[in-house]
Structure 1
Amino acid sequence: MRDRDNETSDDVDNGVLTSTDSLETTGIGIVDGSTAQVEVSLPTLHDEDAYLAEEDLGDAALTAEPIEESAPAPASDVPVAEDVIDADVVASPTPTGTVVTGQTRRAMHHANEVDKHSLERVHPARVEEEPLQSRRLDQLGADRETADLLTADRLIDRSRVADAEPDGPWQKFVYAATARRVNLGDSKRARARKELDRRIAAPLHGGAKFVPVLSRKGGVGKTSVTTLLGMALADAREDRVIAVDANPDRGTLAERIGRTSGKTVRDLVRMRADVTGFNDLSSIVARDETRLDVLASDADPHLSEAFSDRDYHDVSAVAAHYYSLVLTDTGTGIVHSVMDATLELADQLVVVAGRSIDEARLASETLTWLESNGYSEQVRSAIVVLNTSRPGASLVKPEELEAHFRSRVRAVVTLPYDAHIATGGAISFRDLAPSARLAARELAALVVEGLRNPGSGR
């Protein structure tokens, strides 16, 4: 085989220029009409010089003298990582006007190969690993269980857990007589009571709810209904309930719980900027045995200014911050300014009617006035309470009264006569007749259901 490096045939280029007319030779000392050979000196690449290979090749002096072709560098045993830069794809700059022979190109390619392996030594290739990634629970192994499988039904040995003691006189007797071996479960009445508790204690969402109790006629039991409703709610619920006496004149709501704090709504209006926590508010309100808080009206006869709509808004803003349910015992003046503020905030209306003809008519006219003044939707979802304030049978047919109001509102509740309430003194929820307490609890359940499903009118 012929040695390509020692080839002297005329057809070999050897980098000799036929003309130097277009070449600037001043810098390399070439006389016009002469030929010159430029020596190319390739630097030895070290690891720390690997990144400078391109610059070294560009700045090296060129020569036309034959250059022995070096053997290609052995391939590195270290696997090449995907992110290592391939030196072959980095083009080495060639100075303008430089004469490059075939041997020079081969030498430059060899330098790039050396550069490539040098880069591999500087940045050792990483061993390919499976990338870390999150896995869904359903992608885990079949033998692995998640925490939601640790349920009470699975872990608790029911055979070792005694059933709850039944509620009901006959059920309790059988349970005790059989040494707790026979459990008949709760009585029908007990199940109904627990279901009513569940309805009253249902959670409310979306901030404080306002429930005004209205009546256009005094003496029909509006304040008593407000008190009973508040007690039934506070007794069954875990959140806070407050009843506000918003009577523009003198109200008697605080007298119905038999406890007083000595403070009134007027004090709260003056001190509202200083109320920074529930402890500050608890010193103003009074609380009864069911945990119902009551904010009394101002009973000072020397006051020239009645409780106004602005006062009610101030009181409501504070109450809404600390209570889930705000009941309002309103006055009889439906066109009074405080009534406008009360209706503006109302989430559920409770209208109290007596069981006489004139009392029933006034209650029905109240509904008509509300419908005529933009509260038609509130009327459809309202509750009417037919309060029996006098003992004995009435000549007015109760079923006819109920039928009339059921045609206009969502629900009607009849509150039976109770001597404990009729005295006009403090009310103890535990001392009420069972029928009166049941009616108050049914009213509370209907109110909560209306608040949980707004707009659920007829």
Structure 2
Amino acid sequence: MPANPVSNGLELPIHTPRRISVVGMKGGVGKTTMAIMLATAAARARREQVLLLDADTTYGSLMLRMGIAPVASSHDIAQMGDPGSLDVLAGAISRNNDGVWVLPTGRTPAQSAAFGEATYVQAMRAVYRHFPITVSDCGAGMAGTLMQRVISASHSLVIATAPSMDSVLASHNALQWLDSIGYEALARRSIVAIGNVDINNPRIDLAEARQRFAPLCRAVVTIPSDPHLAPGSHLRYDALAAPTVRAAHDLAANVLEAALSVP
């Protein structure tokens, strides 16, 4: 399997907070897995505050995968507003042992379903300045007013892709769509992340995929298949195989470098 691109992004200084969004054209392509690995790799490498924000209105599996219970939701934080200090936020936002703070769309499915553009904007205003890095775990697709707002607020995107021709094509089309609606610069700062890749027998031609994506995005990163990720339960970073950890580090470094390439 071709090596992932080398980046020193995790060593670069952050002068103003960066917002990174993990998107995918359909469910089941590993968005939440990649968002967790990206946020964890960044938190471990930098020892800075990293927020993992759930932007999925379908009451996704983020909290389950993180192994922690929600304290407050984005609705609660939006109503509270910026408390003025991280110490106050610390009583309302869950945090795991890796130092990743996690904010769900809702504490119930109904509350998640009600998460929309206005709540996202108000919640981000409340937390933005307290976290040098915010990673948003988005729902499937990029249509709708909520996703338009999330995309427009992002310094870089991770486009999660399964190792299949239809998923690669959908991601390729998404990058072209970003170009067509005025987000060409953001597309060029995007990282395509191909997950669950069988190192010994990849289902697609990875070299061809990299060549196809090269004119449209910043880099392509591959995440190898890992037995620990297969059950879709609590993701424990220390239980990942060494190649998976290296890939998570590569993903975080590349996307942060891309996010820091703009003011």
* Deviation (angstroms), 1:329: 0.8
Q: Which secondary structure state, in structure 2, belongs to the residue aligned with residue 330 of structure 1?
A: strand
CA displacement, residues 171-198 of structure 1 (integer Å, 9 cap, x when unaligned): xxxxxxxxxxxxxxxxxxxxxxxx97x6
TM-score, L = length of structure 2: 0.90
1:288 pairs, out of 96, 102, 109, with 96
Residue aligning to 2:11: 201
Alpha-carbon spacing, 1:329–1:385, altered in 2? closer, same or farther (3 Å): same
Q: TM-score, normalised by structure 1?
A: 0.53
**Residues 356-386 of structure 1 deviation map (CA, whole Å, 9 limit, x = unaligned):** 1111111111111111111001111211101
Kindly report which structure 2 residues correspond to 1:344-423, keeping only aligned pairs within 5 A, or say none.
Answer: 344-388=152-196, 393-423=201-231
Partner residue in 2 for 1:255: 64
1:448 deviates by: 2.4
> Aligned residue for 1:435?
243
Q: Which of 244, 252, 258 is equivalent to 2:53?
A: 244
Q: Which deviations, in whole Å up to 9, do the C-alpha atoms of 1:185-226 show, x marking residues without a partner?
A: xxxxxxxxxx97x64132111x21111111111000001000
Which residue of the partner structure matches residue 130 of structure 2?
322
CA contact (8 A) 2:195 2:222 kept: yes
Give the match's secondary structure for 1:374.
coil
Instruction: Tell me which of the two structures has the higher relative contact order, counting C-alpha pairs closer than 8 angstroms and 6 or more residues apart.
Output: 2
Whether contact under 8 Å (1:208, 1:323) holds in the other structure is: yes
Runs (5+) with no aligned partner, structure 2: 1-5
Q: In percent, how many aligned pairs have the same letter?
A: 28
Is the 8 Å Cα contact of residues 247 and 329 (structure 1) preserved in structure 2? yes
Counterpart amino acid of residue 33 in structure 2: S
In structure 2, what is the equivalent of residue 231 of structure 1?
A: 40
Paired residues of 2:198 and 2:224 also in contact (CA < 8 A):
no
Counterpart-to-counterpart distance in 2, 1:408 and 1:392: 27
Q: Distance in 2 between matches of 1:406 and 1:438?
A: 22
Amino acid at match of 2:221: V
- 3-state SS, counterpart of residue 270 of structure 1: helix
TM alignment of 1:173-188, pairs within 5 A: none
Q: What is residue 3 of structure 2 aligned with on the other side?
A: none
CA deviation profile, 1:74-131 (whole Å, cap 9, x unmatched): xxxxxxxxxxxxxxxxxxxxxxxxxxxxxxxxxxxxxxxxxxxxxxxxxxxxxxxxxx
Q: Which amino acid aligns with 1:261?
A: P
Asked if 1 retains the 8 angstrom alpha-carbon contact of 2:57 and 2:112, the reply is no
User: What is the CA-CA distance between 1:304 and the residue it aligns to?
Assistant: 9.1
Q: Is the CA contact 1:221–1:389 (under 8 Å) kept in the aligned structure 2?
A: no
| Larger strand proportion of the pair | 2
Aligned to 1:426, which of 234, 256, 260? 234
Worse-superposed segment, 355-364 or 432-441: 355-364
SS of residue in 1 equivalent to 2:125: helix
Root mean square deviation, CA, Å: 2.1
- Kindly tell me: are residues 423 and 346 of structure 1, through their superposed partners in 2, closer, same or farther at Cα, counting changes over 3 Å? same
Structure 1, gaps ≥5 residues long: 1-194
